[in-house]
Amino acid sequence: MQKAFAFLFLWCLLFFSGLSVFAQEGEPEENSEEEVPSDEYEGVLPSLYSRGEQTFSFTLGAVLPLFYTNDQGIVPDGTHTNVGGGGHLSYNYFLAPRFFVGGEAGGMFAGTIGENMLYLVPFGLRAGYQFTFSIKNLRFEIPVSLMVGGATQKYLETDYFGLFLKPMLSGFFRLNPDWSFGLNFGWWLIPEWTSERRKDMTGHFLEISLSARYHF
């Protein structure tokens, strides 16, 4: 538990230190996008984003239990958890045309083989880099992000709070200037630290979800 809070404090310190550095940089030059001939839509194009643009996402999907690991490798007796459902809200702020920071909060529930329920409430900070390309006038955006935060878990009468990590790869179709819609693949890493090191383990879950993203 103390390890989780120490890690979160260090990560937040580094995050806000980096954020202050970016905030001191000058405004980007206007008309930074390159002119692209109308017949050259294949491949990577300059980003549509500029510093200060923001997005807000609504996400729902499934969370698949994969396995648990400890110091010895993969725990052989499995996760004892069925496929769950969940969702989250996320906010992004673009510090540069492709680099963004923000936050995320959500929840997940899943049944177990013992017909009980596991509840998880993750939240934290996120940062990422977004690739942008167009094919025949259709615009696509591929953000790659990492979320670092904490998660509250509840199973029967047991409560636990610990570290939560989620690298995620997404693909969005930009429908219009206000909205884009996408598919996400996120890898949930949920360490569970106890007073006995031999009992420590990390849960691995796969998120497959759909998002609606509002741009402003």
Asked whether residue 28 is domain-assigned, the answer is no
Asked whether residue 33 is domain-assigned, the answer is no
Q: How far apart are CA 121 and CA 171, in angstroms?
A: 24
**Structural domain span for residue 104:** 2-22+48-215
Asked whether residue 40 is domain-assigned, the answer is no
Asked whether residue 57 is domain-assigned, the answer is yes
Asked whether residue 29 is domain-assigned, the answer is no
Cβ neighbours of 155 (radius 10 Å)? 16
The reported pLDDT for the residue numbered 68 is: 87
Low-confidence ranges of the chain (pLDDT < 50): 1-7, 9, 13-46
Residue where the block lists tokens 């980096």: 18
Asked whether residue 41 is domain-assigned, the answer is no
Count Cβ atoms within 10 A of the Cβ of residue 21 and give its class: 0-12 exposed, 13-18 middle, 19 or more buried. Answer: exposed
Contact at 8 Å (CB) between 57 and 212? yes
Asked whether residue 37 is domain-assigned, the answer is no
Domains: count for the chain: 1
* pLDDT, tens only, 142-182: 999 999 999 999 988 888 899 999 999 999 999 998 999 99
* pLDDT, tens only, 192-214: 887 777 778 888 999 999 999 99
Asked whether residue 42 is domain-assigned, the answer is no
Q: Percentage of residues in the chain with pLDDT exceeding 90?
A: 50
Q: How far apart are CA 48 and CA 180, in angstroms?
A: 13
The reported pLDDT for the residue numbered 5 is: 45
Q: How far apart are CA 194 and CA 85, in angstroms?
A: 27
CATH of the domain at 75: 2.40.160.20
Q: Which of 78, 69, 83, 55 lies closest to 208, judged by CA?
A: 83
Q: Percentage of residues in the chain with pLDDT exceeding 70?
A: 77
- Strands (E) in the chain, as ranges, are 54-70, 73-74, 84-94, 99-111, 117-135, 138-155, 158-174, 179-192, 201-215
